[in-house]
Amino acid sequence: MNQIHARLLSRHSLENLRKESMMDVVNNKSQNRYELTVDGHLAATYYKVSDDVITFIHTEVPPELAGQGIGSRLVKGALDQVRADGIKVVAECPFVKAYIEKHGEYADLLKQ
C-alpha cells in the first residue's frame, strides 16, 4: 500500500469516527427525551419516568433523515441505556413497540 492510499484510508477512518461520535444517543433528562443529532438534525424519542419504569410516548425523526435507520439507531441507543440503568419499559410509542417486537433481545425490558 502506498503512502497516499494509506493517508486516504486514514482520513476516511477519521471521518467515519467523527460521524459515529456525532451520532451518539444522549439522554436529555431536562427535556424527557433521548436525542440523536445527525447532520444538524435532531431525532428524539420522548418519555416519562415513574418509579423504575420508563414509558416511551413518541418518537420523531426529521424528514431529512427519513429512511436512513436513524429512528432505529435512536431507539436502540435509548434501550441500551435503559438496560444499563436497570429499569423497565412501557412502549406506548408505536415505533418503540415495533422495534422491540422486531428485536427480541429487548423484550426482557418490557414491564409485565
Give Rg (Cα) of the chain.
17
Mean pLDDT of the 62-68 span: 93
CA separation (Å) from 95 to 13, 41, 58, 67, 75? 32, 19, 8, 14, 9
Give the model's pLDDT for residue 3: 53
Domains of the chain in sequence order = 24-109 (3.40.630.30)
pLDDT tens, residue by residue, 33-60? 999 999 999 999 999 999 999 999 999 9
C-alpha–C-alpha distance, residues 12 and 16, integer Å: 6
Which residue did the predictor score with more confidence, 21 or 59? Answer: 59
Do 59 and 99 touch, CB atoms closer than 8 A? Answer: no
pLDDT tens, residue by residue, 90-108? 999 999 999 999 999 999 9
Give the model's pLDDT for residue 57: 98
CA atoms within 13 A on the CB side of 71: 19
**Identity at 15, one-letter amino acid code:** E
DSSP state of 1: -
C-alpha–C-alpha distance, residues 34 and 103, integer Å: 19
